[in-house]
């Protein structure tokens, strides 16, 4: 099967951050869905895994499910994908519930033709028909806000994906930027970054805000505040 995918001639495309998520129709464990329409008004995380009934993927699905309620509190849904048939997904979910005591409650796309994986750039030329560990974070307007790619041998950190959704929402709602390791940044702790001044007028405004105690600054170009 790997040779079949390796020999096929198609362009490996990758949607870009800031673009609209491609319109796709997919069969899932919960019926057919159209994306991004299915999650209109919500954030969603679409993530691919190499294959059902594989060790690392099983740990990832359990980890996602353990945090599913946390994602939902952020108005964010989860949806998985691999190049497996829907009955394989269903049987795998059943195995996880029976053997690990965890019921997977989010849908899984059955991309058995590989068409969706190709469209989203989830197939690596050297990996045959197995999808890489890709993550797309999409906002309520259907815009791709973040993309992550992991190698097959490394499982994902779900807390980081959750942090990214939360951070993007905070950035949107407050017109700020999010520092490294937020909310536990080594310099500004749980504060967020005020956008740096782009001209002399904004520079004066930053210094005025600092004098009024509205923000804190190491310098006029590195200001932060608590939200």
Question: Which DSSP helix (H) or strand (E) runs through 64?
Answer: helix 55-66
Residue 34 neighbours by CB under 8 Å, 6+ apart: 23, 24, 25, 26
- The residues assigned a catalytic role are 57
Residues 85 and 83: their CA atoms lie apart, in Å, by: 7
Sheet holding 76-82, edge to edge: 31-35, 24-28, 108-110, 76-82, 43-48, 133-138, 144-150
CB-based contact 138:123 (threshold 8 Å): no
Which residues of the chain are modeled with pLDDT < 50?
1-7
pLDDT at 11: 60
pLDDT at 128: 61
Q: Comparing C-alpha atoms, which of 14, 36, 39 is closest to residue 25?
A: 36
3-state secondary structure of 170: helix
For the question of whether the overall pTM of this predicted structure is more than 0.85, the answer is: yes
Whole-number mean pLDDT of the chain? 92
**CATH fourth-level superfamily of 175-227:** Antioxidant, Horf6; Chain A, domain2 (3.30.1020.10)
**Cα 65 → chain centroid:** 14
Residues 159 and 80: their CA atoms lie apart, in Å, by: 17
pLDDT at 5: 41
Residues 25 and 171: their CA atoms lie apart, in Å, by: 31
- The domain segmentation of the chain, as residue ranges, is 2-155, 175-227
- Residue 221: how many CA atoms within 13 Å on its side-chain side? 3
Residues 209 and 220: their CA atoms lie apart, in Å, by: 10
> Which class for 158: exposed (0-12), middle (13-18), buried (19 or more C-beta within 10 A)?
buried
β-sheet bridge partners, residue 143: 20
- Residue 17: how many CA atoms within 13 Å on its side-chain side? 7
pLDDT at 9: 53
pLDDT at 12: 60
Strands (E), the chain: 24-28, 31-35, 43-48, 76-82, 108-110, 133-138, 144-150, 192-194, 216-219, 222-225
* Domain 2-155: assigned CATH number: 3.40.30.10
């Amino acid at each position: 099967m790997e040779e079949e995918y390796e020999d096929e001639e198609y362009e490996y495309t990758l949607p870009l951050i800031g673009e609209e998520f491609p319109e796709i129709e997919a069969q899932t464990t919960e019926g057919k869905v159209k994306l991004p329409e299915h999650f209109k008004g919500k954030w969603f995380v679409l993530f691919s895994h190499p294959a059902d009934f594989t060790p690392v993927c099983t740990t990832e699905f359990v980890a996602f499910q353990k945090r599913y309620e946390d994602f939902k509190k952020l108005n964010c849904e989860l949806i998985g994908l691999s190049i497996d048939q829907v009955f394989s997904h269903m049987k795998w979910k059943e195995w996880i519930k029976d053997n690990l005591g965890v019921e997977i409650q989010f849908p899984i796309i059955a991309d058995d033709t590989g068409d969706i994986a190709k469209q989203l750039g989830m197939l690596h030329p050297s990996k045959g028909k197995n999808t890489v560990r890709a993550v797309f974070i999409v906002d309520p307007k259907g815009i791709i806000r973040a993309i992550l790619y992991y190698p097959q041998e490394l499982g994902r950190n779900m807390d980081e994906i959750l942090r990214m959704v939360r951070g993007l929402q905070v950035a949107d709602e407050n017109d700020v930027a999010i520092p490294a390791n937020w909310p536990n940044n080594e310099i500004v702790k749980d504060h967020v970054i005020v956008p740096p001044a782009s001209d002399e007028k904004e520079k004066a405004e930053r210094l005025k805000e600092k004098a009024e105690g509205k923000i804190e600054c190491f310098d006029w170009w590195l200001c932060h505040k608590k939200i």
